[in-house]
Structures are given as structure tokens and as C-alpha cells.
Amino acid sequence: MSTSTSQITLDDLLRKATLAAEKSYSPYSGFKVGAALLLDGGQVVTGTNVENASFGLTVCAERTALVRAVSEFGPGIRIAAAAVANLNGEASSPCGACRQTLAEFAGPDSVIVFPTAEGTKAMHFHELLPLGFEMKLEKSPRRM
């Protein structure tokens, strides 16, 4: 898999996701996941999963990377490509919550790469989340 998106290849993005997985805080599941997002501007932002004793408060690697990207580059970011990796050698496509969250910033043709039972798979985002929830925002005057 050597598809090029900007100057970063999907293989490069997977390596960055794997490095991010090494920083995982996953004492409960032991499932170490990392994500790397390639933004339209060429920046790469990574994240890892952070578990919590109250499992509902656990944050996935994809959402961690996305929150970092918005925090660092602002709400106008767009995701050109994303990669997910784990250190457990298991299939792990983004969960439903991550798919929907990424959809807010990814275009239908953004590429996402993740491990499957058959090996690494690359697909367009619209294939991963064909019927995602979408809401049109109307611009309104600023309120004081």
C-alpha cells in the first residue's frame, strides 16, 4: 500500500499511528490503539486511546487525534486521510462513535486505513460510514 496523499504515504501514516499506540493508557483492556490524521494542509496529528475505570469515559485514539487537531489548528481542519493501528495484532476499524466524529471533518473521498482480519485495508470514508448523521449549520448573527 503506497498510495500517496500529499507527501505522506499511507504507510507513513500507519507507522505514525503505531508509534502513537505505544503511548496508550489502556490498563483495563490492554488494547493499545493509535491513530494518525493527515490534514489537508499536510500536517499529521496523532492520538492514542485513554481508558478510564468508568469505561464510558474512555476516549478512542481517533477522537483523541481529532480533538488535538482542532485544538492545534482550529475548527476549519479537514481530514485528507486517517490511519488506525494497534499493538495487539487484531482487526480494529474505527468504532461507530469515531466514524461519526471523524465524519464532521472528513470528506467522502478521504482515505482511511485500518487493520482487518485479512490485513490492512484502505477505503474511502463514505464506504466506512455510508449513512452517517449529517446536520446543516445555518449561520446566525453573533449573540452578545
Is residue 78 situated within a structural domain? yes
Burial class of residue 10, CB neighbours in 10 A (0-12, 13-18, 19+): buried
Tell me if 60 sits within 8 A of 66, measured CB to CB.
no
- For residue 74, what is the domain's CATH number? 3.40.140.10
Cα angle 97, 40, 32 (rounded to 5 degrees) comes to 40
Is residue 55 situated within a structural domain? yes
Is residue 66 situated within a structural domain? yes
Tell me if 82 sits within 8 A of 128, measured CB to CB.
no
Tell me if 112 sits within 8 A of 104, measured CB to CB.
no
Is residue 124 situated within a structural domain? yes
Cell of 69: 487537531
User: What one-character DSSP code corresponds to residue 50?
Assistant: B
Question: pLDDT per position in the chain (144 positions), as tens?
Answer: 434 445 789 999 999 999 999 999 999 999 999 999 999 999 999 999 999 999 999 999 999 999 999 999 999 999 999 999 999 999 999 999 999 999 999 999 999 999 999 999 999 999 999 888 887 766 645 443
For the annotated catalytic residues, the residue numbers are 62
Is residue 142 situated within a structural domain? no
Is residue 110 situated within a structural domain? yes
How many folded domains does the chain comprise?
Answer: 1
Parent domain of 88: 4-128
Is residue 133 situated within a structural domain? no
